Amino acid sequence: MIVSDVARRLRRGALGVLVAALVALATATTASAASLTVTSCTEGPSGYVIGLAGSGFPATAPLQVDWTDTLGSFFNPTSSDGSGNLNPTNVFGAGPAKVTISIQDLNGASLASLTVNGCAPPTPTAKDQCKKDAWQAFDYKNQGRCVSAVASKNK
């Protein structure tokens, strides 16, 4: 009778420890949802450069940034700082393009991803930037439209 009572208590205790460990594990794996944002995006005649930032990544684990564009799939190593913030990372490729970017651990598990549908064209901030054919760099049909765009922004 005493032996079975002790065995029963041990089973309850072991089950309680197991349940507590599983709850702690589930909390640890879902508590750090990683996020990824675009900090800059520029397109030129030879392609694009997309700057990335993020948080919620494993603090010490090596990571890789994978991206797919019109030329195929690519990857580069990257990492996070000791606080889980993604170290400054750039993606380069042929543009303009729709680019799908994923931050993964070294086992290939995706931690965060996003899609960039081309970079926004640069816009002038002053009328002087529209003079002497400079309006063409901003993708306007003529100098007048460039100047009008600046004037409407500054209202």
Task: Calculate ∠ Cα 21-23-26, nearest 5°.
Answer: 110
Mean pLDDT over all residues of the chain?
Answer: 74
Burial of residue 105 (CB within 10 Å: 0-12, 13-18, 19+) is middle
Check pLDDT > 50 for residue 64. Answer: yes
**Of 153, 155, 45, the residue nearest 145 (C-alpha):** 153
More confident residue, 80 or 7: 80
Q: Are 64 and 76 in contact (CB under 8 A)?
A: yes
Radius of gyration of the chain (CA): 26
pTM for this entry: 0.57
At 143, the pLDDT band (50, 70, 90 cuts) reads very high
- pLDDT, one tens digit per residue, over 9-61 is 444 444 333 333 333 333 233 335 888 888 888 776 667 788 888 999 888 77
Q: Are 64 and 106 in contact (CB under 8 A)?
A: yes
According to the model, what pLDDT value does residue 14 have?
43
Determine the average pLDDT of the residues in 117-137.
82
Determine the average pLDDT of the residues in 139-155.
86
